[in-house]
Amino acid sequence: MNVVTRSNGQKRSFSTLIRVLSVFDREDLDAIYKLVMDIYQDKIPEGFDKVLWGDLIVMFNPDEQDEFWNSQHEWKVVSWKCLVSYGVHTLMTNEGLVVHMLIEKKYPLKKEIVMQMLKLKLESEEESTMALELIRFIKKVLADLESKEED
């Protein structure tokens, strides 16, 4: 369990990134990322800290060489949600894996995963241009992946 104390003295505890997203806004998320990366710049955390650290690395620094992204062939996406107020969209798999992604960032998603996302349709907490732009972006990603296959 991690505890964050805001500058106004308010304390919040969390153990997963989904909990962070339910408590803080996007600006706070960026600050938490910087803080966690500073704390663990020379070592890999353990326990719940490692889960949060790993989720933040996947979200802010996607590396297509990482084994996480190379395991996509095992994913069966069951839900795709847009958290507009955080600028984040999430995938949930049938195995309980939750992948958090920043809306403005491109991730090394495989064609099969992008197709699963579009078949599910995006769930959003509210109607927004951000959600519509995300759908357009994901459709473009799919078109780019398909054109790479043709080359």
pLDDT tens over the chain, length 151 residues: 556 666 677 666 665 666 666 666 778 788 888 988 998 988 888 877 788 788 889 999 999 999 999 999 999 999 999 988 788 899 999 999 999 999 989 999 999 999 999 999 899 877 788 888 999 999 999 999 998 888 6
Are residues 21 and 45 both part of a single domain? yes
Domain holding 100, by residue range, is 71-151
For residue 66, tell me if it sits in a domain.
no
- Reference 83, options 19, 33, 38; nearest CA is 19
Are residues 90 and 53 both part of a single domain? no
Are residues 86 and 19 both part of a single domain? no
What pLDDT sits at residue 113? 96
What is the total count of domains within the chain? 2
What pLDDT sits at residue 15? 57
Are residues 101 and 55 both part of a single domain? no
For residue 20, tell me if it sits in a domain.
yes
Q: Token pair of 21, please?
A: 């997203």
Which letter does DSSP use for residue 28 in this model? H
SS3 at position 34: helix
Phi/psi at 147 (nearest 5 deg)? -70, -30
Are residues 57 and 76 both part of a single domain? no
Are residues 80 and 28 both part of a single domain? no
Spatial distance between the Cα atoms of 77 and 86, rounded to a whole number of angstroms? 21
Q: With the CA atoms of 125, 98, 57 and 149 taken in that order, what torsion angle do they form, in degrees rounded to the nearest 10? A: -90
Are residues 14 and 81 both part of a single domain? no
